[in-house]
Amino acid sequence: MSKVYLNCKEALKGTAFDGMTLMCGGFGLCGIPERMIDALKESKIKNITAISNNAGIDGAGLGLLLETKQISKMISSYVGENKIFAEQYLNGEIELEFNPQGTLAERIRAGGAGIPAFYTPTGAGTKISEGKESRKFEGREYIMEKGLRADLSIVKAWKGDTEGNLIYKKTARNFNPLMATAGNVTIAEVEYLVEPGELNADQIHTPGIFIQRIIEGSHYDKRIENLTTRKDNV
């Protein structure tokens, strides 16, 4: 059965539903599955629990789903670039489960590897540890963190083949490879879709066994999150 779908709307059919847990790959505005986010917005699916490093920015990334109030909870490590998120959080319209960035990555990796929980010293003795089991190992306090899985993972790769093998480009390797393993269904969005054998096997980051559906996207904006310039002293 072919994993290739003509467009994001078709790829999304049967995988998205109200109240689902969604993993969304990328780091900042790099490596985010833009066209799949567009399709989710059009689907009007609501009450989403979104697991992502960040909440996008106003008008881009997961910020689009925040604008339509389709997300009811964020599990993330950084939300500071999104004014809409801040407003919704302060108004009690959205829930936040905050994680140190390394802890979030490890929770996703654990979920993909079938590990239900693990201990980490990160956050011990802080608000992050409240309500969590703790133990001491060799005199140091550790807290237990649970692995994360999702009903649907959407990831963005630079190149992929029709079997679902993926190559990510530079910063896009943050979170995308981990999330690809931790979804009950994973949909990959790629900039270039090629035939099997055209990718260098030594450069493949995600094996196709983790990918159930794949689409070739288009019309990507290479956004800059923050631009700082200086005047020439001439």
Q: Positive or negative, the Cα torsion across 24, 61, 97, 105?
A: positive
The total domain count for the chain is 1
pLDDT at position 59: 85
pLDDT at position 77: 92
pLDDT at position 226: 67
Q: Is residue 176 part of a domain?
A: yes
Q: Is residue 129 part of a domain?
A: no
Q: Is residue 130 part of a domain?
A: no
Q: Is residue 48 part of a domain?
A: yes
pLDDT at position 60: 87
Structural domain that includes position 79: 13-116+149-216
Q: Is residue 2 part of a domain?
A: no
State the SS3 of the chain: CCCECCCHHHHHCCCCCCCCEEEECCECCECCCHHHHHHHHHHCCCCEEEECCECCECCECCHHHHHCCCEEEEEECECCCCHHHHHHHHCCCCEEEECCHHHHHHHHHHHHHCCCEEEECCCCCCHHHCCCCEEEECCEEEEEEECCCEEEEEEEEEEEECCCCEECCHHHHCCHHHHHHCEEEEEEEEEEEECCCCCCHHHCCECHHHCCEEEECCCCCCCCCCCCCCCCCC
Q: Is residue 83 part of a domain?
A: yes
Q: List per-block mean pLDDT (blocks of 10 residues) for the chain, which spans 234 residues.
A: 94 97 91 95 97 88 94 90 88 93 97 98 94 96 98 98 97 95 98 97 97 92 72 67
Burial of residue 190 (CB within 10 Å: 0-12, 13-18, 19+) is buried
Q: Is residue 7 part of a domain?
A: no
Q: Do the Cβ atoms of 107 and 99 come closer than 8 Å?
A: yes
Phi and psi, residue 196, nearest 5°:
-55, 140
Whole-model pTM: value is 0.92
pLDDT at position 124: 95
Q: What is the CATH number of the domain that holds 60?
A: 3.40.1080.10
Q: Is residue 126 part of a domain?
A: no
